[in-house]
Amino acid sequence: MQERPFEHKWERIVYVNSSIKAWTIVIVDEKKNNLWSFPRRVALEMAEQKGLDLVQIHYDPVKQVCTALLTDYGKYMYRKQKDEREKKKTQKQKVLKELKINYSIWNNDLELKIKKWREFLLEWNNVKFSIRLKWRERMYESKAVDMLNQIVEKLSDAWKTQYSTPKKEAQWYSIILFSKF
């Protein structure tokens, strides 16, 4: 029997048996059947007689009542960790792709690139558009900013940006587009 709260780095504290501080405990078995509410001492004795643990699921601090699951603590934690791993597998990671373009790109080339990256944005990914200005090209900063604003306008129907203007980095101007939904 577990006597103190157990904590994993990725979850909150799980209160088990005598670490449950509520005066009244509503006991639920593994089949989700409500076994009724008992005073704390009676509930702990009942769990000890059956050789199982009381695992706190929900706590109401106002009424001093908690809902506890009557189960084997090791099996409970194993199932919980297994469910979390399954959730991680099903989650799709968002990818940030970067498209580097030149400030002097022709309009038809820019249209083709925008068309290609629109398809990538439809797959719910984020795209970073960036323009690098080298040496003497820095005098064309306004042209680079205008081009990035033009890209944002063409893709603004379903995507938004974090900043209203392109962000200036050391030799780069960049803007990130992500889905509005």
Q: How high is the pLDDT of residue 137? A: 66
Going by pLDDT thresholds of 50, 70 and 90, the confidence category of residue 158 is low
Q: What is the pTM of this model?
A: 0.47
Domain at 96-179, CATH from 3.30.559.10, 3.30.110.10, 3.50.50.60, 3.40.710.10: 3.30.110.10
Superfamily (CATH) of domain 17-90: Translation initiation factor 3 (IF-3), N-terminal domain (3.10.20.80)
Whether the predicted pLDDT of 11 surpasses 60: no
Order of strands, sheet of 53-60, starting from the edge strand that comes earlier in the sequence: 34-39, 24-28, 65-71, 53-60
Comma-separated ranges of CATH 3.30.110.10 domains in the chain: 96-179
Give 65-122 pLDDT, tens digit per residue. Answer: 888 888 888 888 898 889 888 888 877 666 777 777 777 777 787 788 777 777 777 7
Name which of 12-16, 59-63, 119-123 the model is least confident about.
119-123
Q: Which residues pair with 55 in a beta bridge?
A: 16, 69
Going by pLDDT thresholds of 50, 70 and 90, the confidence category of residue 3 is low
Cα separation, 66 vs 57, in Å, equals 7
Comma-separated ranges of CATH 3.10.20.80 domains in the chain: 17-90
Greater model confidence, 22 or 161? 22
Whether the predicted pLDDT of 2 surpasses 70: no
Name which of 6-15, 84-93, 167-176 the model is least confident about.
6-15
Cα separation, 44 vs 23, in Å, equals 11
